C-alpha cells in the first residue's frame, strides 16, 4: 500500500511542476537519508522516514527562483496531506485494485500468450493489464478465429462441390494441329423426279420391284414434314389414295419385310458426283469422287467429306462402299492415345483426317454445287437449295438440327472457328460426378468405336427405339441381327424420339457426358449473288449444268491459331495451402512459424520447464513491499535539467534490502 501511495504522490508532483520524477532514485535516496540519520527505533521510524522523504523531494524538484520558497514549502505540505488522505481512499476502493490482475508468470499458457506471434494473445498474458482489456482481446481473438474458420470452410466446400473450372490455355494451338472438320452437304430434294416417275410407271405395270420402290417413295415423301405440310398446304411427292390401293400398300404380307429405306435412298436420290461436280482442296483441283462419299442420314441421302469410314465408325457394321486403302490410313489415327489434336513438332505423315496447313480460303475446301431444281420431287423443306453442317470426323452428322442453308446462284463463304476444350490430367483423379466429363476410354459405346456426345445420344435413342418398337431406323446404329423399321413402324420410332427430347435429351440420356477433350466447329457464313455468264468457255460453249441453279461454297479456317479452353483444378495442393494460410494470416496473424511455436511450447518448453524444477533451487520469494514498488523498465527516467540535483543510483544493495526489511516490520 505504501508503494502505491508513493506512486500516486509522484504523479501529483509531476503534474503540478511539469517535470518527470525519477521514482526509483527518489525511493532509494529516501532510504539512504533515513539510514544515515542513525539507528531508528520503532516509534521513530515514521518520523525519520517522513523527514527523509521531504528532504529528498526538495532535492528532486528544482525551483527557478528564490521567491518560490514559500510556495514550495506549502506545496510539499499539501502533497503530504493529500498523501494521508490517499491511504483512506485506497482502503475504501481496494476492489478497484483487484481488477488489475497480474497473471502467474510461471504458467506455461501465460508464457505462450506473452511470447507467441499470434495477434492479440500477448495482451491477454501481459502484466499490468486491466481485466476489461484482457476480455476485449480474448473476444477479438475468438472472433478472428471464427471468421478464419468460416472462410476456410467456405473455400473447402466450394472446392469439394466444384473442383473443376474451365479457363483458357496459356499458349496458342496452331491451325495445323486441329483436324479439318467433316463437311456434310445434303440436297433439300430427297428423290429425283425422273426416278420417282419411273418407279410409279413400272408399278402400274405390276412390276414387283417397282411396287416396293413406290411404297418406299410414298413413305419417304409423306414422312417428311416441312412447315407447309404441317398445315396441309402441300402434299408434294405423296401418292394418291387410289394408287396406294392399287399397289397393295395395305397388304401386311407385302409390306412386312420392306425395311430397307436406306437402299431406296441410295438409288432414288441425287448422286454425289452430280451434286458436287467440281472441287478444290488446298488450292489444288481434285476429283470430287475421291473427296466425298455418300451417307444416309435422317435428312436423307447426303455427301460427306473428311469423315471416318462407316466401317470404322461402327463396331458391328460394315459398309461395302468404303475404300480398304482409306480405311487403313484412317486406322493410323489413334484418338485414345494420340488425342484429337496433332503434335506441333511431329511430321505430317497421315493423310487422314485432313487438316488445313495454314489459315485462309486458298488452303480450305471449295466446291461447286448443282441443285438440279428440275428434278425436285419431294423435299424436306419448302425451299430450294442445300443444307450443310460441320462436325467431328468421328461423329454422325445432324443435318436436320444443326445444318445451315446454302441458296442457289450464290457464292457462299463459310468461316469455320474450332472451339477446342482440353483437360489437365490432374482432374482425372476426381470422381466422374465432380469433373463431369469422360477421360479417354472411360465410357465405351456398344455401336460406335469413337465416343462423342452426339454418338452417345444416337445410341441412347436407338436402344430405346428397339426396346419399344422392336426395330431401328435406317440411320441409327445397329448390328446385322437387328431389324430395320419400315414405314409401318415409323410412327412408333418417331414417338420414342419425341418422348426422349421433350424432357431434355441430356436428362433422359444422362450417361452422355461430354468428353474431357472435344472439338466443336462453329460456322459463320456470308454470301453474294453469282454472275450468269461465268460458266462459258472461250469458244462460247458450256457444260450441261450451265443453265441450272449453281452455288459455289468455300469452307475454310481463317485464323492461324486459337486459345483452347482447358478443364483444370479449381485449387491445386499449392493453391489450397496458400489460400488456407493466407486466410489464417489475415484473421489471426498465423504462419508456419506460429505452428512451430505451438509445437515448441507443448514439447521442448514444457519438458525443459519440468526439468528445471528438479535441477534449480526454488526462487526466493520477493518481499511484499519491493514487489509492489518495482517499476517497469519504461518508467526509468533519465535525469534532465529540471532534476539534475537528484542523486542517481547511489544506494547499495544491502542498504536497500535492510530498508525493505524495516518497512515490512
C-alpha 569: how far from its chain's center?
Answer: 7
Question: CB within 8 A of 164, min separation 6: which ones?
Answer: 427, 430, 434, 435, 436, 567, 568, 569, 570
- β-pairing verdict for 278-281 and 376-379: unpaired
Task: Report the chain's terminal Cα–Cα distance, integer Å.
Answer: 14
| pTM as predicted | 0.67
- Using one digit for the tens of pLDDT, what is the confidence trace for 188-215? 999 999 999 999 888 888 888 888 888 8
The rounded mean pLDDT for the chain is: 76
Distance (Å, rounded) from C-alpha 105 to C-alpha 657? 23
Question: CB within 8 A of 258, min separation 6: which ones?
Answer: 212, 215, 216, 486, 487
Query: Phi and psi (nearest 5°) for 23?
Result: -65, -40
Give residue 390's pLDDT. Answer: 95
Distances, alpha carbon 525 to alpha carbons 374, 413, 415, in Å = 27, 5, 6
* pLDDT surpasses 70 at 426: yes
- For range 222-251, the mean pLDDT: 73
Rg (CA), the chain: 49
Distance (Å, rounded) from C-alpha 229 to C-alpha 249? 22
Distance (Å, rounded) from C-alpha 237 to C-alpha 308? 33
Distance (Å, rounded) from C-alpha 400 to C-alpha 301? 12
Concatenating the DSSP letter of every residue in 385-425 gives SEEEEEE-TTS---HHHH-EEE-SSEEEEEEEEEEEEEE-G
Concatenating the DSSP letter of every residue in 593-621 gives HHHHHHHHHHTHHHHHHHHHHHHSPPPPP
Partner residues linked to 305 by β-bridges: 183, 292
DSSP 438: B
* pLDDT surpasses 80 at 324: yes
C-alpha 20: how far from its chain's center?
Answer: 65
Burial class (CB in 10 A: 0-12, 13-18, 19+), 632: exposed
* pLDDT surpasses 50 at 177: yes
pLDDT band for position 418 (cuts 50, 70, 90): very high
**Which of 381, 397, 340 shows the shortest CA–CA distance to 564?**
340
Query: Phi and psi (nearest 5°) for 234?
Result: -150, 140
Distance (Å, rounded) from C-alpha 245 to C-alpha 660? 134
**Which of 134, 547, 151 shows the shortest CA–CA distance to 371?**
547
- β-pairing verdict for 518-529 and 410-423: antiparallel
- Using one digit for the tens of pLDDT, what is the confidence trace for 453-466? 999 999 999 999 99
Question: CB within 8 A of 17, min separation 6: which ones?
Answer: 61, 642
Give residue 25's pLDDT. Answer: 47
C-alpha 126: how far from its chain's center?
Answer: 46
Least confident of 320-324, 509-513, 621-625: 621-625
Least confident of 158-172, 175-189, 383-397, 514-528: 158-172
Distances, alpha carbon 242 to alpha carbons 222, 245, 247, 350, 568, in Å = 16, 5, 9, 57, 65
Query: Phi and psi (nearest 5°) for 345?
Result: -105, -20
Concatenating the DSSP letter of every residue in 493-538 gives HHHHHHHHHHT-HHHHTTT-PPBSSEEEEEEEEEEEEPPSSSS--T
Distances, alpha carbon 412 to alpha carbons 408, 521, 527, in Å = 10, 17, 4
* pLDDT surpasses 70 at 50: no
Distance (Å, rounded) from C-alpha 591 to C-alpha 595? 7
- Using one digit for the tens of pLDDT, what is the confidence trace for 564-612? 888 888 776 777 778 888 888 888 888 878 888 888 888 887 787 777 6
Give residue 14's pLDDT. Answer: 52
- For range 45-56, the mean pLDDT: 48
Distance (Å, rounded) from C-alpha 47 to C-alpha 45? 6
- For range 365-391, the mean pLDDT: 91
Distance (Å, rounded) from C-alpha 542 to C-alpha 532? 12
Which H helix or E strand runs over 374? none
Q: What angle do CA 37, 39, 40 make, to 5 degrees?
A: 95
* pLDDT surpasses 80 at 79: no
Amino acid at each position: 500500500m505504501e508503494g502505491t501511495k508513493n506512486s500516486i504522490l509522484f504523479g501529483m508532483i509531476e503534474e503540478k511542476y511539469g517535470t518527470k520524477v525519477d521514482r526509483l532514485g527518489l525511493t532509494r535516496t529516501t532510504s539512504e537519508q533515513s539510514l544515515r540519520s542513525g539507528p531508528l527505533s520503532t516509534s521513530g521510524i515514521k518520523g525519520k522516514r517522513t523527514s527523509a522523504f521531504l528532504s529528498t523531494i526538495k532535492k528532486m524538484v528544482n525551483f527557478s527562483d528564490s521567491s518560490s520558497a514559500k510556495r514550495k514549502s506549502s506545496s510539499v505540505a499539501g502533497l503530504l496531506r493529500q498523501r494521508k488522505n490517499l491511504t483512506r481512499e485506497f482502503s475504501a476502493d481496494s476492489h478497484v485494485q483487484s481488477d488489475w490482475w497480474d497473471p502467474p508468470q510461471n504458467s506455461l499458457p501465460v508464457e505462450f500468450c506473452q511470447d507467441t506471434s499470434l495477434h492479440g494473445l500477448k495482451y491477454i498474458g501481459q502484466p499490468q493489464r486491466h481485466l476489461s482489456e484482457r476480455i476485449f482481446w480474448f473476444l477479438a481473438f475468438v472472433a478472428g478465429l471464427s471468421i478464419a474458420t468460416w472462410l476456410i470452410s467456405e473455400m473447402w466446400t466450394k472446392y469439394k462441390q466444384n473442383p473443376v473450372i474451365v479457363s483458357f490455355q496459356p499458349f496458342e494451338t496452331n491451325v495445323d494441329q486441329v483436324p479439318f472438320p467433316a463437311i456434310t452437304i445434303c440436297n433439300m430434294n430427297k428423290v429425283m423426279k425422273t426416278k420417282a416417275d419411273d418407279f410409279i410407271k413400272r408399278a402400274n405395270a405390276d412390276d414387283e420391284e417397282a411396287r416396293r420402290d413406290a411404297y418406299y417413295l410414298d413413305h419417304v415423301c409423306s414422312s417428311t414434314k416441312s412447315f407447309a405440310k404441317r398445315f396441309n398446304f402441300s402434299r408434294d411427292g405423296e401418292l394418291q389414295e387410289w394408287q396406294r390401293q392399287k399397289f397393295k400398300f395395305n397388304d401386311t404380307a407385302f409390306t412386312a419385310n420392306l425395311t430397307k429405306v436406306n437402299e431406296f435412298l441410295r438409288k432414288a436420290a441425287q448422286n454425289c458426283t452430280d451434286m458436287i461436280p467440281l472441287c478444290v482442296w488446298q488450292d489444288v483441283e481434285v476429283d470430287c469422287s475421291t473427296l466425298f462419299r455418300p451417307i444416309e442420314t435422317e435428312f436423307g441421302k447426303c455427301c460427306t467429306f473428311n469423315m471416318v469410314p462407316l466401317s470404322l465408325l461402327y463396331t458391328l457394321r460394315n459398309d461395302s462402299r468404303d475404300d480398304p486403302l482409306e480405311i487403313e490410313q484412317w486406322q493410323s489415327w489413334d484418338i485414345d492415345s494420340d488425342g484429337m489434336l496433332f503434335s506441333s513438332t511431329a511430321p505430317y505423315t497421315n493423310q487422314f483426317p485432313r487438316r488445313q496447313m495454314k489459315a485462309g480460303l486458298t488452303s480450305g475446301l471449295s466446291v461447286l454445287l448443282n441443285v438440279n431444281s428440275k428434278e425436285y420431287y419431294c423435299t424436306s423443306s419448302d425451299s430450294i437449295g442445300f443444307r450443310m453442317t460441320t462436325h467431328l470426323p468421328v461423329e454422325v452428322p445432324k443435318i436436320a438440327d444443326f445444318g445451315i442453308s446454302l441458296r442457289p446462284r450464290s457464292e457462299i463463304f463459310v468461316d469455320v472457328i474450332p472451339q477446342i476444350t482440353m483437360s489437365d490430367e490432374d482432374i482425372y483423379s476426381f470422381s466422374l460426378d465432380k469433373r463431369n466429363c469422360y477421360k479417354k476410354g472411360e465410357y465405351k459405346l456398344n455401336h460406335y468405336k469413337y465416343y462423342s456426345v452426339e454418338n452417345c445420344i444416337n445410341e441412347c435413342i436407338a436402344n430405346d427405339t428397339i426396346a419399344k418398337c422392336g426395330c431401328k431406323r435406317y440411320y441409327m446404329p445397329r448390328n446385322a441381327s437387328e431389324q430395320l423399321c419400315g414405314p409401318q413402324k415409323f410412327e412408333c420410332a418417331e414417338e420414342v424420339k419425341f418422348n426422349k427430347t421433350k424432357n431434355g435429351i441430356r436428362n433422359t440420356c444422362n450417361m452422355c457426358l461430354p468428353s474431357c477433350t472435344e472439338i466443336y466447329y462453329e460456322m459463320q457464313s456470308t454470301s453474294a449473288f453469282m454472275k450468269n455468264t461465268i460458266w462459258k468457255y472461250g469458244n462460247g460453249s458450256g457444260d450441261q449444268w450451265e443453265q441450272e441453279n449453281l452455288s459455289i461454297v468455300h469452307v475454310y479456317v481463317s485464323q492461324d491459331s486459337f486459345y483452347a479452353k482447358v478443364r483444370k483444378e479449381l485449387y491445386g495442393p499449392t493453391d489450397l495451402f496458400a489460400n488456407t494460410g493466407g486466410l489464417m494470416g489475415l484473421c489471426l496473424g498465423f504462419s508456419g512459424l506460429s505452428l512451430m511455436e505451438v509445437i515448441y511450447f507443448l514439447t521442448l518448453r514444457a519438458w525443459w520447464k519440468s526439468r528445471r524444477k528438479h535441477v534449480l533451487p526454488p526462487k526466493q520469494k520477493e518481499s511484499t513491499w519491493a514487489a509492489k514498488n518495482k517499476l517497469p523498465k519504461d518508467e526509468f527516467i533519465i535525469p534532465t535539467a529540471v532534476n539534475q540535483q537528484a542523486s542517481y543510483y547511489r544506494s547499495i544493495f544491502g542498504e536497500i534490502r535492510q530498508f525493505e526489511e524495516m518497512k515490512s516490520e
